[in-house]
Amino acid sequence: MNRLQLRRAVVGLVAAVALLVLSGCSVVVDRPSQLPGAPDDAGPDQVSIVGADDGPVDVSARNALADLETFWAEQLPAVFGVVLEPLAGGYFSVDPGAVDPGEYPQGLSCGVDPLEVQGNAFYCRPAQSPNADSISYDRAFLGELAHGYGRFIPALVMAHEFGHAVQARVGAPRTSIAVETQADCLAGAWTAWVATGEAGHTRILEPELDQLLRGYLLLRDPVGTGTDTREAHGSYFDRVSAFQEGFDGGAAPCRDRFGPDRAYTQSEFASDGDFRAGGNAPFGTIEQIVDQSLPVFWERAFTEELGARFRAPEIESFTGRAPACAAADADLVYCPPGDVDGAPNGLVAYDERELIRPAYEQLGDFAVVTAVAIPYARAAREQLGLATDDEAALRSAVCLTGWYGSQVADGTIPGVVISPGDLDESVQFLLEYGNDPQVLPDVELSGFQLVDLFRSGYLEGPRACGIGVR
């Protein structure tokens, strides 16, 4: 049984749910048909969902399932050489708080009791019975998720579970983590198709992509889970990365890139001390980690990849007011050589009170390292004679920060050691702070795009980052 294992242990979601419980209000999910120019809803005659009450979540799920059937009817033959057979067991919706057992005479997927689907959604493989080859979901819980993370979340859950149905038809990877992340990739391929406006009943708007990635935080395994753990699903970075691979490249990368040689960032804690600290270094050591690791990385990069000599910029913190070479209210700064006294190679600076300490406390230590690495990459671009203050420069700097993150993860940079969840913190930082003009230049890049750039640098290295590496 492929269970999505949705988790409630997220502060924002728990707070939202608690507020709903205390106020006695019901969760409201905007129906796609309420959006301007949205397509019509699929009817029960198109997709039958056992137990559905035709509320907003069931409508969203039915719309998604209708469009998933259309998409995979086209893509399975084109990409996998297989004709899509309809799910023999069908679809099941349940509200565990108001179950009518008469609606489910054989239970849900795999014969599971309706109460057992609480807080979950899952696909039942064809070898299991009764009601095999089917998808079941807790509509009340999906409503809670949609309330906290956007109306598209029920559709995303359907796309992930339908991905398992695709695997049942074409063959699945051997490990759990590969099975789950490949399903994320397949969901990404379908979501990109929806985003182009080709879906008959489902729509996603560009700002909702950031919400969708934030929602993926709920779907990661607990930090410190090993990749070989039974039913491992992947870290936040692993799952978001897989989704974006499908979104960018369609179904073909999902077919080709989830073999036994695929690398994952999920890992176990190396020591009890690391576990107790949640993988975070003490705040007082963050400056030392940054000062030691970034110059070493870039000196090596210039020598080995760029055929040049790197001159490390100065790094300093400030409180409240940025250096005179930058806007007074900036929280993250790069000043080129000549713009500030005492910094012949340029200056990287950050507001400890307004940015660095909150990012550390809310997200973790590697969020801080990621933040400082972005303007540091702009300093590297300056030394290569490249622009540092336009959208292309920011795209490149975020991509190069992903490359730096990959080298940290590989253990090749003295002075910094990766911990479980660190790269998840990079994703969170870009989603939470990337649209703040006081942190990154005020350009037209969404959090989704920033994460995709970081991912490209992490997976592909400097050749993806526009700095002239052959």
Q: What is the pLDDT of residues 66-114, one digit of tens each?
A: 999 999 999 999 999 999 999 999 999 999 999 998 999 989 999 999 9
pLDDT band for 6, please (50, 70, 90 cuts). very low
pLDDT confidence of residue 363: 95
Task: Please compute the mean of the pLDDT values over residues 24-48 and round it to a whole number.
Answer: 60
CB 294 within 8 A of CB 373: yes
Instruction: Indicate the burial class of 98 (C-beta count within 10 angstroms; 0-12, 13-18, 19 or more).
Output: exposed
User: Average pLDDT over the chain, rounded to whole?
Assistant: 88
pLDDT confidence of residue 35: 44
pLDDT band for 175, please (50, 70, 90 cuts). very high
Buried b (16+ CB within 10 A) or exposed e, 299-314: eebbeebbeeebbbbe
d(CA 216, CA 255): 22
Phi and psi angles of residue 137, each rounded to the nearest 5 degrees, phi first? -150, 155
- Highest mean pLDDT out of 5-14, 28-37, 376-385: 376-385
Phi and psi angles of residue 6, each rounded to the nearest 5 degrees, phi first? -70, 140
Confidence check: pLDDT of 12 > 90:
no
Q: What is the pLDDT of residues 403-450, one digit of tens each?
A: 999 999 999 998 788 888 899 999 999 999 999 999 998 788 999 999
**Residue 167 φ/ψ region, left for φ over 0, alpha for ψ in the -120 to 50 degree band, beta for the rest:** alpha
pLDDT confidence of residue 17: 29
Token duo for residue 213: 């990635």
CB 119 within 8 A of CB 141: yes
Cβ partners under 8 Å of residue 50, min gap 6: 90, 91, 92, 93, 103, 104
d(CA 55, CA 63): 12
CB 281 within 8 A of CB 289: yes
Confidence check: pLDDT of 160 > 80:
yes
Dihedral angle sign, alpha carbons of residues 48, 53, 57, 59: positive
Per DSSP, 315 falls in state: E
Q: What is the pLDDT of residues 220-247, one digit of tens each?
A: 766 667 676 766 678 899 999 999 999 9
Task: Please compute the mean of the pLDDT values over residues 242-258 and round it to a whole number.
Answer: 97
d(CA 455, CA 253): 15
pLDDT confidence of residue 460: 95
pLDDT confidence of residue 128: 67
Q: Which long-range contacts (CB under 8 A, 24 or more apart) does 11-15 make?
A: 12/148, 13/144, 13/145, 13/148, 13/149, 13/218
Cβ partners under 8 Å of residue 192, min gap 6: 246, 247, 248, 250
| Lowest mean pLDDT segment, chosen from 26-30, 84-88, 154-158, 400-404 | 26-30
Give the domain ranges of the chain: 2-256, 277-464
pLDDT confidence of residue 470: 59
d(CA 117, CA 110): 11
pLDDT confidence of residue 230: 65
d(CA 181, CA 220): 10
Confidence check: pLDDT of 19 > 60:
no
d(CA 450, CA 441): 12
Token duo for residue 161: 């579970």
pTM as predicted? 0.88
d(CA 435, CA 214): 14
3-state secondary structure of 314: strand
Phi and psi angles of residue 121, each rounded to the nearest 5 degrees, phi first? -155, 145
Token duo for residue 192: 């990109």
